Amino acid sequence: MSTVNKNMNVLIVDDYKTMLRIIGNLLNQLGFKNIDEAMDGGEAYNKLKDKEYGLIISDWNMEPVSGYDFLVKVRADEKFKNIPFVLVTAESKTENVIAAKKAGVSNYIVKPFNAQTLKMKLSAVLGPF
């Protein structure tokens, strides 16, 4: 059984520094070490071009480029379309979930969440660890 490569590069995207720190800390607790941050989808997309990522965790509501728009852009790009992409949001509106699924999101996490929830959601995407 293959285990998750915790040395993979993980990109976390959120326009709140506090949220970046929280998600970063949770990922550290789960054993992930190589974590990069971006403040919006535009900055995140530029980072994707410079480095190989095994996972993207992005907030939905950001300006000027939202997590949803970033997801659409990633899925439209042949080079990045298979990267597991988890959207984080404070709203669990059905239409948002449906839109995200249609756009190709790998999983969806509603704030607030803890390490256990994150692990469960990531296991569903990356496999057990």
Provide the pLDDT confidence category of residue 2 given band limits of 50, 70 and 90.
Answer: low
Q: Residue 121: its pLDDT value, please?
A: 96
What DSSP element (H or E) covers 109? strand 107-110
pLDDT tens readout for residues 63-106:
999 999 999 999 999 999 999 999 999 887 889 889 999 999 99
Alpha helices, H only, the chain: 17-29, 41-50, 67-76, 94-103, 115-126
Whether the full predicted model's pTM is greater than 0.75, yes or no, is: yes
How wide is the angle at C-alpha 59 spanned by C-alphas 107 and 49, nearest 5°? 90
Residue with tokens 């659409």: 72
Q: Residue 3: its pLDDT value, please?
A: 81
Q: What are phi and psi of 127, to 5 degrees?
A: 105, 165
31: left (phi over 0), alpha (psi -120 to 50) or beta: left
- Spatial CA neighbour of 86 closest among 114, 112, 60, 63: 60
Contact criterion met (CB below 8 Å) for 83 and 55: yes
* Percent of the chain residues topping a pLDDT of 70: 98
Preceding amide of 112 cis, omega within 30: yes
